[in-house]
Amino acid sequence: MTQAEFEIALTFALPRERLWEAIVDHVSMSKWLGVSVRLLEKGDQNGVGALRRVRFGPLHFDEEVVYSDPPIRLVYRWLGPWWLIHHRGEVLLSEAKGEKNQSELRWRARFVGRDPVLAPLFAKVIELALRRGLKELKGLLGG
């Protein structure tokens, strides 16, 4: 088994609640992420159980929201692909210290794969795409 992980940290010039709304709007993720995201199941009132399908080039995978504590923490996992044993993603939002109406975002992801090359490679590709997408989100939100 091989493991890979990353963490992205960004500050947004907007309140945490507004940033949370953008992060959990699965339908609009395609606009800022730059890949196709389709909501398959809505989930409960906090989004737990939401199932989304992400198309990334020739690949597609499903993500399921497994924990939600608005507007602080969202945890999701991947359902597949075959070579991935485990994937966990976590988005944490906090108020920026000393700055009114600013938010800190931390996006963490951990991959455990069967193949010694695929998990680290895929983690790096996802990290780069997510960094680019979050910068796009920042621009769209004016933050």
CATH at 112: 3.30.530.20
Question: Average pLDDT for residues 33-62, to the nearest whole number?
Answer: 91
Residue 106 binned pLDDT confidence (cut-offs 50, 70, 90): very high
CA distances from 59 to 13, 36, 37, 133 (A): 34, 11, 12, 18
CA distance 79 to 131: 22
- What residue numbers bound the domain in which 132 lies? 2-141
pTM equals 0.92
**Which tokens belong to 134?**
């979050």
Total number of domains in the chain = 1
| 97 pLDDT above the threshold of 90 | no
Report the SS3 class of residue 84: strand
Q: Which residues contact 30 (CB under 8 A, 6 or more apart)?
A: 36, 37
CA distance 69 to 92: 10
| 9 pLDDT above the threshold of 80 | yes
CA distance 138 to 131: 11
